[in-house]
Chain A
Amino acid sequence: MTEDLLSAKNVIVQGITGAHGAFHASAMKASGTNVVAGTSPSKIGDTIDGIPVYGSIKDIQAAHAVDISVVFVPARFAKGALIEAITAEVPLIVCITEGIPLHDMLAVTKALKEKGRSQLIGPNCPGILLPGGNKLGIIPAHLSLAGSVGVVSRSGTLTYEAMDGLTRRGIGQKYIIGIGGDRIAGTSFIDCLRLFENDPDVDKIVMIGEIGGTGELDAAKYIKQHVTKPVYAYVTGHHAPAGVQLGHAGAILGSADESAAAKTEYLAENGVHTATSITHLIHMI
């Protein structure tokens, strides 16, 4: 994942005529993103806020280059939409849709690996915001401030909270990336940490994790070995009942402690500045 991938110009919206798709395509355009077209198989020829609607990505590609697709297609059709984008070799696919069945994501992941031409962000994520540049998803752009912090988060609303807190303190951001809270996701913390480490414009990194899964633990190991810039982290859910949703066999497979406290401790052991609340995090930076 590179800055060029995220800042590319030709953006489309899959599912542009749905309530969320239409509302946010318009908001993306209003914040300066070059939304060239959208898809909706049943509304071909319509326009949404001046954006032309096509039946498929292939039809758009006959007229425009497509660098990025932002997907708002409802969960039950999302697998088809994602595989359409993967097949069309769209370099960056940002999937906002939540509630995609796990088995569908297994098929999507398989297609991603086989085709090997696309980077997927999400699903179930708020997308990406480059303050002053691309808004790819639903992150409220007016709360950002251009600058040099890279923010990566598993949570949507908590991403906004961190961004808003930084902006209020006059600390600008270069990247706001929500990687999504689903169990199977296209982009990991490590993908984003690598991007931030390699971009000389980034001087500080903010990472927001959650209970469950091992992404934060993998990130901690990566940070210790590869990241020289200061990383500030908050893992949310210190007071959530741990392990409620983990099945018996799943708990055996994920034998490491997945609680907020354990992740926070592990991040701290690996040189990360850790906070116990979002307010605490913002005031540490």
Chain B
Amino acid sequence: MKLLEYEAKKILAGSGIPTPASFIVSPKTKPEFLPCVVKSQVPTGGRGKAGGIAIVQSPAEFAASSNKISELPIKGFLPKTLLAEELLLIKRELYLSLLIDKTAAQIVLMAHTNGGVEVEENRADEFLQLPLSGFDADTVGEQLAEYYDLPDTSFVLQDIVENLYTCFINNDATLLEINPLVLTTDGKLIAGDCKMELDDAAAFRHTDWNFEEKSAEVNFVTLNELGTVATIANGAGLAMATVDAVADAGMVPANFLDIGGGANEASVLAAFERIMRYPNVNVIIVNIFAGITRCDEVARAIIGAKKQIPHLPPLFIRLAGTNFEQAATLLSAEAIPTLGALDECIAAAKESQS
């Protein structure tokens, strides 16, 4: 789950990381302070270039810029919230992040002396990378101060590292990126912008989580709005493989869908309804290989969909694995045919389209 800047900064500030003074812009209120920077809160980068960030000096400018930014879509995202912050007097822009190195199964600190919007121009091997397992925040703070060539900030960086790590752990973060970490002209280090990603799997122990952007939908992805073959499968691997097989046979897959292990009649029915919105779909391939899923539950869902959705395109169904026999009995009672393997479904779908 990706947080918006103002949500991430609220967590940062609560963890003792210096953030700019700020307020949330609401339509009728006056600015709490001026000058300030009005920032569009959208879940994408490149806001500055797109016109989503404005420095304002007067109440009139504040009102005009706020109105303009609130109506400006950036890469398809319209902001629901605008953040206003104090104007930082920037001496340097640094980069600092914590993330999980999945290969080594440890938390890693990454830093670069060249932060800001151009950070992606830096080569991957130029970043300072420090694994944070069994680490000592004081030592890491000193290393950072030396790396950034900011010897006077050693104590400040020690605090930042310690608080950042605690913040990362306490919030089940998978990415916590401060970019830029601003060095102001009066020598303070402040988080200029922040990207934070939290682990959806840990939501059960964070009942207070309530953010604008809900978890990205990963189980249903449109590949081609104009595709002709819709796919329903279980397990991400099999769902991807079903899409690959459709494309390999020269047909155009519309979507990727993993119904997951907990599929029930309602969720599969909802999937069929979404597929019906694709204008050109004339074939649906259902490819279920049940391990933890049970085929009979999927069969009931298919029967329900056939009854409830008018003009359902031809279905080519392959069910295998756990409770296949019960599923076959249920489907044959409704005269719904099934096929034995994915390649048979692909061949039948191809034939139906020709």
Contacts and interface: CB of A to CB of B under 8 A. Distances in A.
Interface of A: 20, 24, 27, 75-76, 96, 98-106, 109-110, 126, 138-140, 143, 153-161, 164-165, 168, 181, 183-184, 208, 210-211, 213-214, 234, 236-241, 244-245, 247-250, 252-253, 255, 260, 276-280
A251 to B, nearest CB: 8
9 contacts: A101-B201, A102-B102, A106-B100, A157-B234, A157-B238, A158-B237, A238-B240, A245-B216, A278-B241
B175 A278 contact: no
Contact of B245 (A159, A168, A277): A277
B174 interface: yes
Sorted from nearest, which 4 A-B pairs have the closest CB atoms?
A155-B237, A157-B235, A158-B237, A157-B238
Nearest to A234: B241
A184 B195 contact: no
Contacts of A161: 238, 241, 289, 342
Nearest to A164: B320
Interface stretch (B104-112, B154-162, B183-191, B304-312): B104-112
B201 A210 contact: no
Contact of B201 (A102, A109, A138, A213): A102
B97 A249 contact: yes
Interface size for chain B: under 10, 10 to 19, 20 to 34, or 35 or more residues? 35 or more
B5 to A, nearest CB: 13
A155 B105 CA distance: 20
B103 A247 contact: no
Contacts of B101: 253
A23 B236 CA distance: 23
Contact of B261 (A98, A210, A253): A98
Q: Is the interface of B mostly helix, strand, loop or mixed?
A: mixed
Nearest to B129: A253
Nearest to A215: B103
Contacts of B195: 247-249
B244 A238 contact: yes
Interface string B112-139: 0000000010101001010001000000
Contact of B105 (A106, A164, A238, A250): A106
Contacts of A126: 291-292
B74 interface: no
Interface string B168-185: 010010110100000000
Nearest to B293: A157
Interface string B1-26: 01000000000000000000000000
A276 B342 contact: no
A101 B172 CA distance: 8
A241 B244 contact: no
Nearest to B112: A252
Given A240-B256, A277-B244, 20 more contacts: A100-B201, A103-B202, A126-B291, A138-B292, A157-B237, A158-B241, A158-B289, A164-B289, A165-B341, A183-B100, A240-B221, A240-B243, A241-B223, A247-B177, A249-B195, A250-B175, A252-B122, A253-B110, A253-B129, A276-B248
A165 B195 CA distance: 45
B174 to A, nearest CB: 6
A265 to B, nearest CB: 15
Contacts of A27: 322
B253 A239 contact: yes
B259 to A, nearest CB: 11
A191 B294 CA distance: 31
B38 interface: no
A156 B271 CA distance: 21
Nearest to B261: A98
Nearest to B288: A157
Interface string B216-252: 1010010100000000011111101101110110000
B349 to A, nearest CB: 13
B321 A143 contact: yes
Nearest to A75: B201
Contact of B346 (A165, A238, A244, A279): A279
B175 A248 contact: yes
A234 B45 CA distance: 34
Contact of B244 (A101, A106, A252, A276): A276
B245 A278 contact: yes
Nearest to B107: A106
B71 interface: no
B197 interface: yes
A104 B291 CA distance: 25
Nearest to A137: B291
B234 to A, nearest CB: 6
B177 A248 contact: yes
B199 A143 contact: no
Given A106-B105, A106-B106, A239 B175 contact: no
